Chains A and B, each alone.
Chain A
Amino acid sequence: MARNLKFNIFRYNPQDPESTPHMETFSLEETDSLTLFIALNRIREEQDPSLQFDFCCRAGICGSCGMVINGRPGLACHTKTKDLPDEITLLPLPVFQLVGDLSVDTGSWFRELYDTVESWIHTSKTFDPNAQEERMEDAVAEAIYELDRCIECGCCIAACGTARMRPDFLGAAGINKVGRFLIDPRDERTEQDYYEILGTDMGIFGCMGLLACEDVCPKHMPLQNQLGFLRRKMGITALKNFFGK
């Protein structure tokens, strides 16, 4: 027996002077293997063509479709309705600027982050097109990739109490990004350089350890371990700096 699903969806179009933030209800008959990607597209195509939401790869790889699904930030594309109750409430991710309805602007937020943490390899070497590549142990490459897997969907930021209270907080995604370069032997930045970025309340010491990031991450990034590791590492640097002078 197919269920009749009730969708409570946040609606607001900031570009429409007559629009005010409110919840709107749609109902939809559940079909086999229904995901929120299919459901939202059906609602748009059959019921309200102005409904805004973001999808891209629809395969859980690109991170476009983060939204709060029944109180939990997650990727809509790989959320199956059969894992949800009859009533489904969808809200846009908090923290990020609202574009309209379920669509938010994660792009600007992350772009600013790249500049803040300088998310690129800092090296004094120049590239020689005729030389063989520099060698690297496969285990090191895999460890880097493990931290490079973040898809920047913004779920960890939206779920983070600190990020909601302080706009300059790097969040788990940002701190993890620094951690990725910290373990990369190609990056020549020193402990002090990393401390400049991470060793403040904007970075690792702003983290209050609520671990919502760890719990909502759709890619199951090792955020708890990573945050703990970086807090100890930066903590030691902090003590060195404090007592060293």
Chain B
Amino acid sequence: MQTIYTDVLVMGAGLAGERAAIEAAEAGFSAICLSLVPSRRSHSSAAMGGMQAAMGNCAKGEGDCPDVHFADTVKGSDWGCDQEVARMFADRAPVEMRQLAYWGVPWGRVVPGKGTYYKGGKLFDKEEKEENRGLINSRDFGGTAKWRTCYVSDGTGHSVLYTVDNVCAKLGVEVHDKTEAISLITDGVTCFGCVARCLRTGELRVYLAKATVIATGGFGRIYPGTTNAVICDGGGHITAINTGLVPMGNMEAVQFHPTGIVPTEILVTEGCRGDGGTLLDVNEERFMHIYEPEKQELASRDVVSRWMTHHIRQGKGVPSPYGEHLWLDIRHLGEKHITGKLREVYEICTSFLGVNPIHQLIPVRPTHHYSMGGVRTNKDGHAYGISGLFSVGEASCWDMHGFNRLGGNSLAETVVAGGIVGKKIAEFLQGAEVTFNSAVIDAEVKKQQERIGNIIRCKNGTENVYKVRKTMQDTLHKGANIFRTEQGLTECVKTLQETLERARKVGLKSNGLGVNPELSAALKIEGQVKMALMVAYGALNRTESRGSHNREDYPARNDRDWLTRTLAYWKNEKDDLPTLEYEAATQIFHIPPGDRGYGKSQIIQAENIPAAPKG
């Protein structure tokens, strides 16, 4: 068995993981990133739209500052976020954008002079100042008071990921791609690294590290239709859940993006609406201005998705063989804009739908998109429950997003949090000594070898992993979607519990030799169903509506009882339900809970909110 030692081990080589690794490497520590795919194929690359940071350089962003960004983020989260963390994020974001510019990101820049822009289908004028020529530009995104989203044409995530990966190459941060972590090595107190499976040969390897970071992104693939890449399967989360010690925060907070295309569920960027695209119904009429007179198409994602679903329920959806949908209209933006700043959208529409968005409408509907929940960490990114384990990016519940994340805040989170947490990891490593216990390591390896052997030899049963996965996905889709009810969730939990039993009996049909994809899926299925149960059970118990979590039977946001964060543990391996605990959503209130200014406004007031500290 090959054993590899490093100071910092990062699972995942997307933006958050690599950014954190860079901080550690710059502080003189060795760092290795594990990745299912070559680092540049990580799902960060698919984020087209941009990163929110209060630069305030463009005309429509004038007067912007981290305070406004912070306020937008808290409102967007429906007061579910940790305000201290959101504050750190908003303050640091502009510096991080400049850091990226220094590293080589070709940010869109301010071009002085008069120009026009669309909002709600209407044309408006704006004028950029000469003094801001060449500074980082911003575009409009949903749920924000100012134009704040820094962008690189239509490939922000791609460009930033390539730049950050270049810096990793420069600093000697190693990326072991086609390597999948399958379990953490821990003695119950400290994390020693992980057991990983090589996806070139199928062999197991041991990685030992003083600090281990889970940065594996979202877990959207537990839903049947999602904008997430196929690698966003929760593999990293599962390793943490299986320790029984690390809680997942707010797993019920699942974001549905308003504009996934129908069929294939590929995302078209929020930039479409930010740049003035509109949503139309079966009669090709706009409707968002009726529900949201102020923000219209650019209300936060949870709100727009909810109204879209509501509108379809009103019988205004467009029928199709793939179910009802609505239209996204960007035709008025013109060919130059569509094939320029929205080229990726143009390519997706033409190659996946056979639709030319310059002349035709794009079929869209709300589609699973983002997991606000994840490995719960403190504000340093240190996971709850185990020392030496960190988490960052979408994989984590650092918790700046609460119950709804704003467009452009996740991509920004990857690098901003990566930078902040990376620094904290470097601090943690200064003088930190770890004694690796070989008995613990050997026991974990043996356990994994046995697990793999059992699955290959069908010792536990012969359930088909793909069928089990399908059942889990469909169940979750049915029970824990945009609108949720007690009845639906109860049924969902029950079916998922049965599915968990089946998942424990999965056995392979194929021989399991080498990089067997069936084995990869089978190794994860039990953990995935556990995660699905955390989502559904958390949603069932949260008897209020907040952000993206909508209970039709509890439509009010209940700040009196539910200004909390769900912590879901899987305490014993053989449990068939997660153990839920709760903690206060935030220790410090810079902004007391109030009205978001969009969305519905039914609120059950909290009784005593601690006053905001000075500053």
A and B touch in the complex (CB under 8 A): yes
Closest approach, in angstroms, between the C-beta of A26 and any C-beta of chain B? Answer: 14
Residue numbers in A under 8 Å from B515 (CB-CB): 13, 15, 52, 99-100, 103
Residue numbers in A under 8 Å from B202 (CB-CB): 15
A59 interface hit (Cβ, 8 Å): yes
Closest approach, in angstroms, between the C-beta of A118 and any C-beta of chain B? Answer: 8
Q: Please judge, given known A-B contacts A63-B41, A127-B99, whether A15 and B109 are in contact too, CB under 8 Å.
A: no
- What is the 8 Å Cβ interface bit string for chain B, positions 95-137, against chain A (1 contact, 0 not)? 1011101111011111100000000000000000000011111
Could you tell me if A106 and B38 are in contact, using CB atoms closer than 8 angstroms?
A: yes
Could you tell me if A105 and B175 are in contact, using CB atoms closer than 8 angstroms?
A: no
Residue numbers in B under 8 Å from A127 (CB-CB): 98-99, 102
* Complex Cα spacing A223 to B358, Å: 26
Q: Please judge, given known A-B contacts A60-B348, A60-B351, A120-B166, whether A144 and B46 are in contact too, CB under 8 Å.
A: no
Residues of chain B in range 150-208 having any CB-CB distance to chain A below 8 Å: 152-153, 155, 158-159, 162, 165-167, 169-170, 175, 177-178, 199-202
Could you tell me if A152 and B351 are in contact, using CB atoms closer than 8 angstroms?
A: no
Could you tell me if B162 and A148 are in contact, using CB atoms closer than 8 angstroms?
A: yes
Could you tell me if A52 and B517 are in contact, using CB atoms closer than 8 angstroms?
A: yes
Residue numbers in A under 8 Å from B155 (CB-CB): 145, 148-149
B335 interface hit (Cβ, 8 Å): no
The stretch from B262-270, B294-302, B385-393 touching chain A is B262-270
Which residue of chain B has the shortest Cβ distance to A141 in the bound complex?
B106
Q: Which single member of B347, B351, B513 contacts A13 (CB below 8 Å)?
A: B513
* Complex Cα spacing A57 to B45, Å: 9
Closest approach, in angstroms, between the C-beta of B105 and any C-beta of chain A? Answer: 9
Which residue of chain B has the shortest Cβ distance to A143 in the bound complex?
B106
Could you tell me if B169 and A107 are in contact, using CB atoms closer than 8 angstroms?
A: no
A58 interface hit (Cβ, 8 Å): yes
Q: Which single member of A60, A121, A132, A144 contacts B347 (CB below 8 Å)?
A: A60
A14 interface hit (Cβ, 8 Å): yes
Residue numbers in B under 8 Å from A193 (CB-CB): none
A29 interface hit (Cβ, 8 Å): no
Residue numbers in A under 8 Å from B267 (CB-CB): 59
Q: Please judge, given known A-B contacts A49-B466, A62-B229, A121-B104, whether A145 and B159 are in contact too, CB under 8 Å.
A: yes
- What is the 8 Å Cβ interface bit string for chain B, positions 453-482, against chain A (1 contact, 0 not)? 000000000000110000000000000000
Closest approach, in angstroms, between the C-beta of A130 and any C-beta of chain B? Answer: 8
Could you tell me if B134 and A136 are in contact, using CB atoms closer than 8 angstroms?
A: yes
Could you tell me if B99 and A129 are in contact, using CB atoms closer than 8 angstroms?
A: yes
The stretch from A86-94, A109-117, A158-166, A236-244 touching chain B is A109-117
Could you tell me if B169 and A111 are in contact, using CB atoms closer than 8 angstroms?
A: yes
* Complex Cα spacing A142 to B152, Å: 8
B596 interface hit (Cβ, 8 Å): no
Residue numbers in A under 8 Å from B513 (CB-CB): 13, 15-16
B20 interface hit (Cβ, 8 Å): no
* Complex Cα spacing A225 to B103, Å: 26
B509 interface hit (Cβ, 8 Å): yes
Could you tell me if B134 and A137 are in contact, using CB atoms closer than 8 angstroms?
A: yes
Closest approach, in angstroms, between the C-beta of A149 and any C-beta of chain B? Answer: 6
Could you tell me if A49 and B46 are in contact, using CB atoms closer than 8 angstroms?
A: no
B556 interface hit (Cβ, 8 Å): no
A30 interface hit (Cβ, 8 Å): no
Q: Which single member of A32, A33, A99, A152 contacts B40 (CB below 8 Å)?
A: A152
Could you tell me if A119 and B37 are in contact, using CB atoms closer than 8 angstroms?
A: no
Could you tell me if B229 and A133 are in contact, using CB atoms closer than 8 angstroms?
A: no
Could you tell me if B106 and A145 are in contact, using CB atoms closer than 8 angstroms?
A: yes
B231 interface hit (Cβ, 8 Å): yes
Could you tell me if A35 and B264 are in contact, using CB atoms closer than 8 angstroms?
A: yes
Could you tell me if A133 and B37 are in contact, using CB atoms closer than 8 angstroms?
A: no
In the complex, how many residue pairs between chain A and chain B have their CB atoms under 8 Å apart?
201
Residue numbers in B under 8 Å from A64 (CB-CB): 37-38, 41
Residue numbers in A under 8 Å from B177 (CB-CB): 107-108, 111
Q: Which single member of A100, A123, A133, A152 contacts B136 (CB below 8 Å)?
A: A133
Could you tell me if A50 and B98 are in contact, using CB atoms closer than 8 angstroms?
A: no
Q: Which single member of A15, A105, A115 contacts B178 (CB below 8 Å)?
A: A105
* Complex Cα spacing A106 to B103, Å: 25
Could you tell me if B97 and A133 are in contact, using CB atoms closer than 8 angstroms?
A: yes
Residue numbers in B under 8 Å from A33 (CB-CB): 263-264, 352-353
Closest approach, in angstroms, between the C-beta of B274 and any C-beta of chain A? Answer: 18
A54 interface hit (Cβ, 8 Å): yes
Could you tell me if B514 and A56 are in contact, using CB atoms closer than 8 angstroms?
A: no
Q: Please judge, given known A-B contacts A16-B514, A105-B178, whether A55 and B107 are in contact too, CB under 8 Å.
A: no
Residues of chain B in range 24-69 having any CB-CB distance to chain A below 8 Å: 37-43, 45-46, 48
* Interface size counted on chain A using CB atoms at 8 A: 66
Could you tell me if B264 and A129 are in contact, using CB atoms closer than 8 angstroms?
A: no
Residues of chain A in range 123-156 having any CB-CB distance to chain B below 8 Å: 123, 125, 127, 129, 131-138, 140-142, 144-145, 148-149, 151-152
Could you tell me if B229 and A58 are in contact, using CB atoms closer than 8 angstroms?
A: yes
- What is the 8 Å Cβ interface bit string for chain A, positions 52-82, against chain B (1 contact, 0 not)? 1011111111111000000000000010100
Most A-side CB within 10 Å, residue of B95, B202, B352:
B352
A232 interface hit (Cβ, 8 Å): no
* Complex Cα spacing A151 to B37, Å: 13
* Complex Cα spacing A66 to B95, Å: 37
B323 interface hit (Cβ, 8 Å): no
Which residue of chain B has the shortest Cβ distance to A119 in the bound complex?
B166
Q: Which single member of B42, B170, B514, B517 contacts A120 (CB below 8 Å)?
A: B170
Q: Please judge, given known A-B contacts A56-B41, A138-B134, A149-B158, whether A45 and B169 are in contact too, CB under 8 Å.
A: no
Closest approach, in angstroms, between the C-beta of A144 and any C-beta of chain B? Answer: 4
Could you tell me if A114 and B106 are in contact, using CB atoms closer than 8 angstroms?
A: no
Closest approach, in angstroms, between the C-beta of B37 and any C-beta of chain A? Answer: 5
Which residue of chain B has the shortest Cβ distance to A130 in the bound complex?
B95
- What is the 8 Å Cβ interface bit string for chain A, positions 163-187, against chain B (1 contact, 0 not)? 0000000000000000000001011
Residue numbers in A under 8 Å from B41 (CB-CB): 56-57, 62-64
Which residue of chain A has the shortest Cβ distance to B347 in the bound complex?
A60
Residue numbers in A under 8 Å from B137 (CB-CB): 138
Closest approach, in angstroms, between the C-beta of A155 and any C-beta of chain B? Answer: 14
Could you tell me if A186 and B104 are in contact, using CB atoms closer than 8 angstroms?
A: yes
Could you tell me if A114 and B166 are in contact, using CB atoms closer than 8 angstroms?
A: yes
B292 interface hit (Cβ, 8 Å): no
* Complex Cα spacing A162 to B158, Å: 28
Residue numbers in B under 8 Å from A51 (CB-CB): 517
A44 interface hit (Cβ, 8 Å): yes
Most B-side CB within 10 Å, residue of A49, A64, A80, A151:
A49
Closest approach, in angstroms, between the C-beta of A9 and any C-beta of chain B? Answer: 14
Closest approach, in angstroms, between the C-beta of B528 and any C-beta of chain A? Answer: 16
A191 interface hit (Cβ, 8 Å): no
23 A–B contacts, CB within 8 A, in A order: A32-B321, A45-B466, A49-B466, A49-B516, A52-B515, A58-B229, A61-B158, A63-B41, A80-B354, A99-B199, A105-B200, A106-B38, A107-B37, A107-B175, A110-B38, A138-B109, A138-B111, A141-B106, A144-B106, A145-B153, A148-B159, A149-B155, A152-B40
Q: Which 10 A-B pairs have the closest CB atoms?
A: A15-B514, A135-B134, A107-B38, A50-B510, A49-B518, A107-B177, A144-B106, A120-B166, A138-B109, A114-B169
